[in-house]
Structure 1
Amino acid sequence: MGSSKTPTKPAVLVVEDEPLLLMMALDLVEDAGFEPVEARNADEALEILQTRKDIRIVFTDIDMPGTMNGMRLAAMVRDRWPPIEIIIVSGHVKGGDVTLPPRSVFYSKPYDTSQITAQLHRMAALH
């Protein structure tokens, strides 16, 4: 039959520095029917975004080591890759305390996986 593949799943870039939380978020994204792509900090996420053109959604934590946090990453994604949707999460910051870039949403940790799954599907439907 050859190696013809079925249509590819939308790719979601998961940016999280805590290994257990990263693994859980990657599983959530995969269970929701998407292709998970992992980055352990914002710098790694930017490298991935520069090389992969199939990322549809960025799912990022705010608090991470490196040259920038998740809020700065979200602002850069909105400026450089306008079509990409953004989900921002944090266990330390509350939703009312952050100014979100356009077309992004915020969830406090611990987040409800069914809410994140539904949000991923809403965002994917926009494309």
Structure 2
Amino acid sequence: MLTMKPVILIVEDEFLLRMDSVEILDDAGFEVIPAVNADEAVAILSAHTNVHLVFTDIQMPGSMDGLKLASFVRNRWPPIKIVATSGHVRAAAEDLPAGSVFLPKPYHQADLIATMRDLTANV
């Protein structure tokens, strides 16, 4: 029986944080695709129809920050789950699309994995 791994797109401009998250989630059994910014994330989402969750930093350079990216993703790809993170700003529920989750930095590895598993449980 072939089982499908949940696919997570990580959007993080800080290289070490991005690679650390990729490694943690890959080791936890997810398929992970990294992106440096919102523009790269949108290009990836346009090319890959199998992404289940976007995990985005809120404060990023480029045409969109993480909150704008979350809104864009929800409008264009409504089934995709969204987790936003930041160590500098706190996102309130009304700042994010309905059903999204805010995970403050620094987050613990176990919290990151549990959040991703919870949101992708029906994949």
Q: Which TM-score band applies after superposition, normalised by the shorter structure? A: over 0.9
Matches within 5 A, 1:3-18: 6-18=2-14
| TM-score normalised per structure 1 | 0.90
| TM-fit CA distance, 1:8 | 3.5
4+ residue runs over 6 A deviation: none
SS state at 1:50 partner? helix
**Distance (Å, rounded) in 2 between the aligned partners of 1:96 and 1:80:** 22
**Distance (Å, rounded) in 2 between the aligned partners of 1:27 and 1:72:** 26
CA 1:126–1:9: 2 relative to 1, 3 Å = closer
**Distance (Å, rounded) in 1 between the aligned partners of 2:7 and 2:92:** 29
| TM-fit CA distance, 1:122 | 0.9
* Unmatched 5+ stretches in structure 2: none
| TM-score normalised per structure 2 | 0.93
SS state at 1:55 partner? coil
**Distance (Å, rounded) in 2 between the aligned partners of 1:33 and 1:45:** 21
SS state at 2:120 partner? helix
**Distance (Å, rounded) in 2 between the aligned partners of 1:90 and 1:25:** 13
* Unmatched 5+ stretches in structure 1: none
1:68 is the counterpart of 2:29: no
**Partner of 1:56 in structure 2?**
52
The superposition leaves residues 68-112 of structure 1 with CA deviations (integer Å, 9 ceiling, x where unpaired) of 100000001111111110110001102449611111100111012
**Distance (Å, rounded) in 2 between the aligned partners of 1:86 and 1:32:** 18
CA 1:98–1:19: 2 relative to 1, 3 Å = farther
